[in-house]
Amino acid sequence: MGRQDMSEKSKKAEMLSLIEKLNEAAMAYYQGSEEIMSNFEYDELYDELIKLEMETGITMAGSPTQKVGYEVISGLPKEAHDHPMLSLDKTKDRDSLVDWLGDHKGLLSWKLDGLTVVLHYREGKLAKALTRGNGIIGEVITGNAKTFINLPLSIPYKKDLTLRGEAIITYEDFQKINESLPENEEHYKNPRNLCSGSVRQLNSEITAKRRVRFIAFGLVSMDNIEAEERFKYRSQEMEWLDNQGFETVERKSVIGDDVVKTVESFENTIDGNPYPSDGLVLVLDDIDYGKSLGRTAKFPRDAIAFKWKDQVAETTLREILWSASRTGLINPIAIFDKVELEGTEVSRASLHNVSIMKSLKMGIGDRIRVYKANMIIPQVSENLTMSDTVRIPVECPVCGTETKLRDDDGIITLHCPNPSCPAKSIKRLTLLTGRNALDIEGISEATLERFTGEGFIREAADIFKIGRYKNEITSMEGFGEKSFENMMKSIEKARNTTAHRLLYAIGIPGIGTANAKLIAAACDENWEKIISLTESDLMEIEGVGPVLARGFVDFFKDHVKASEVSNLRNELYLEEGSSLKDDYFAGLTFVITGSLKAYENRDQLKGVIEQAGGKVAGSVSSRTAYLINNDISSTSGKNKKAKELGVPIIDEATVTRWIQDKKISQVSI
């Protein structure tokens, strides 16, 4: 089928597919990973995308044809909505939906669980974006909205347009974002909270990294005329928004008893739904009829929300477990006899905070009712006994420090005020012992938890003093003389390390392995120079920005952290300066592509090259000295680029020989 035969919807789908392919290829190219398409193929697809954008009049925010300029602001300005936004009346009864709809035709769609956003287009271009706010006044987030990956920046309709939709982050992207976080950083709890925080960022570059999407669910006005005067049916509105380039919410037409069957069909696809949802929305399709019904003080009468009726099970409370976290918050968790809910066995549920636990008047042995909120998250709905015998712990269950209750606007939470509480340091210690840090084999996160729980480890330096607890450790289950000896050998081996490994190991927010190497190299791997760096010193290092520099300096201003780092430093032997680094690759930039044989991965080869004074870049340019590729005859984009620029292509064996000989021999282009 030729492009001229494609529908507008098909063209939009093709555009989104091209954008995804091109962005994926660009990322692979510029980040130095395996190329997935040639330059020729990339250019062909790029030209095809431009043609489709011209034909449709639609340009998506994620399109590689757009040069993105990120916006940084000091605060989100507030602005009144042209059309106030009401909440929807709700029900959990499927039959009541049938009664509500009567003989009229309706549209049933997902009730997306993100952040509602209002968009204004002027002359076909995105002019303004507002959050829902309180329904009357919202926050202006225009710069952030321009980074939503599926949002059209320009559309075919060239007059004024206002529409509503939900900003969301898919479950898949949510998981990837959490997986990308350093081990010592708190992970995000759910897609909705992450999305809300991402949309309301003051720096739109941060929003862009969160892969926020916009799903349209309603047209508000067109050309300063109420949208209801343009279309007779809501279904027409949604189809029109589809053709303007917007991704619209999944919906199905219903009438009469069809509602119950259609609700079930949505219910059966919850597990496969890529978007967070907390129910369904039923809206009257006939716009004039819906408008004639008016509204109450709180709700419009032309739409109603459906919330899943939760499956509830009765069980017996056996324990309240108080779980201390890295933030110092101590949360109550209800432990109860196993019950089956929504097809899975459940035996615990978070009570979230002290206020909720107290309102339920919990007591060991009480009969309670539990359910899964939105069919996913276990919750306690009711306490039938209400003995109210559970007492709030006066000591942290991990470190024994006296706990503190905090009241934030009526919400009471329990905290451990001890900054050195082992519960707050487990992840930091896990990072410190990891392969890219001090690389201590035989000490897992579970082992660290046991040692901190026993009081053997209070801070990082204690790992290197663990030998004094030999008798206690060798008598612990799972530990014997041999395993203890192996652990001690690994600890002693780890004492000899480098400044950049130590810098990464101490867990400064934002300092990954690459930044640690950059900063340490700028200080000739001298630890005293590193910890004396000022913000201005750091800003002079390529790749270090103001946020990173400020966080670095603030970290060492913290006397407790600085003291712990100093104690750790005293347990280590750091290689510095000329003893650590040769310079026979000084001034040379390498690019690595293709698969490797002698090295585990590209990072390992990169480290060896940097050790010799060289640099490794992600793409071939006029500044590239050598392209490393075991397939020298490859027709990949990087090989072609190297040949065009006269950059020599060498294999892995050649660069390995140079490293061994500590000199470069001549190669032919």
Neighbours of 640 (CB within 10 A): 15
By 3-state DSSP, what share of the chain in percent is helix, strand and coil, each rounded to 5?
A: 35, 25, 40
* 107: enclosing H helix or E strand: strand 105-112
Give catalytic status of residue 111 as yes or no: yes
What type of residue sits at position 566?
A: S
C-alpha angle 586-587-593 in degrees, rounded to nearest 5:
95
Tokens 């309706």 found at: 106
DSSP of 171-209: HHHHHHHHHHS-TTSPPPS-HHHHHHHHHT-SBHHHHHH
Q: Which of 625, 648, 496 is nearest to 573 (CA)?
A: 496
Choice among 11, 111, 146, 424 that is catalytic: 111
Give the SS3 label for residue 104: coil
d(CA 171, CA 192): 10
d(CA 498, CA 524): 11
Phi-psi label, residue 67: left if phi above 0, alpha if psi -120 to 50, beta otherwise: beta
d(CA 128, CA 160): 11
Sign for the pseudo-dihedral over CA of 201, 203, 208, 213:
positive
C-alpha angle 635-640-645 in degrees, rounded to nearest 5:
160
Determine whether 227 is exposed, middle or buried from the number of CB atoms within 10 Å of its CB (0-12, 13-18, 19+): buried
DSSP of 598-656: SSSSHHHHHHHHHHTT-EEESS--TT--EEE-S-TT---HHHHHHHHHT--EE-HHHHH
d(CA 73, CA 200): 11
Q: What is the DSSP letter of 1?
A: -
Determine whether 55 is exposed, middle or buried from the number of CB atoms within 10 Å of its CB (0-12, 13-18, 19+): middle
Rounded alpha-carbon distances, angstroms, from residue 614 to 231, 250, 520, 653: 65, 53, 15, 17
d(CA 377, CA 386): 23
Would strands 411-415 and 404-408 be described as parallel, antiparallel, or unpaired?
Answer: antiparallel
Rg for the chain, CA atoms, rounded: 30
Neighbours of 182 (CB within 10 A): 15
User: Catalytic residue numbers?
Assistant: 111
